[in-house]
Amino acid sequence: MTTEATNAPVRTVQAESAPRGEATRAPERFVTPRVDIHETKEGLQIAAELPGAAKDSISVVVNEDVLTIEGRIEPSWQGAYTHREWGPTAYFRQFAIGERLDRTRIHAEWKHGVLHLRLPFAEAAKPRQIAIQVA
């Protein structure tokens, strides 16, 4: 069902474009935020989990048809750890967004470690009711 694949408004960009060990842009290791993506009549809603990232470290960038979400966990406790399961790291994830979405009107909200994005459909992509003229 390739038609479904092309119609899916968001898909993850190939790993080649993501920073790897040798990339200069983000040389450190990164983790992938977990996301929920829902579609409504108005557009897409993306909820990405970036727990531990401070709001100022989070960036949402749209470049051509690629949406990039980044964030960073900075160390908080200055003392010694006796047990450690997570630590300073970077969050990184990219999505290809189709031309159905209006990339100039993306709304972002940060709450409880979750980044909520609303990407409205471009006007042209919304279903439109055509008024029928009486001849």
Q: Which residue has the tokens 């557009």?
A: 43
- Give residues 43-62 in contact with another protein (rule: CB under 8 A): 44-45, 47, 49-55
CA distance 96 to 68: 9
CA distance 83 to 86: 10
Region from 15-23, 62-70, 98-106, 127-135 binding another protein, contact rule CB under 8 A = 15-23
Is the alpha carbon torsion for 3, 7, 13, 15 positive or negative?
A: negative
Region from 25-33, 61-69, 98-106, 120-128 binding another protein, contact rule CB under 8 A = 25-33
Q: Which residue has the tokens 């471009």?
A: 122
- Select the residue interacting with another protein from 21, 25, 63, 83 (CB under 8 A): 83
| Binding positions for another protein, rule: CB under 8 A | 1-2, 4-5, 8-16, 18, 29-41, 44-45, 47, 49-55, 76-77, 79-87, 89, 111-114
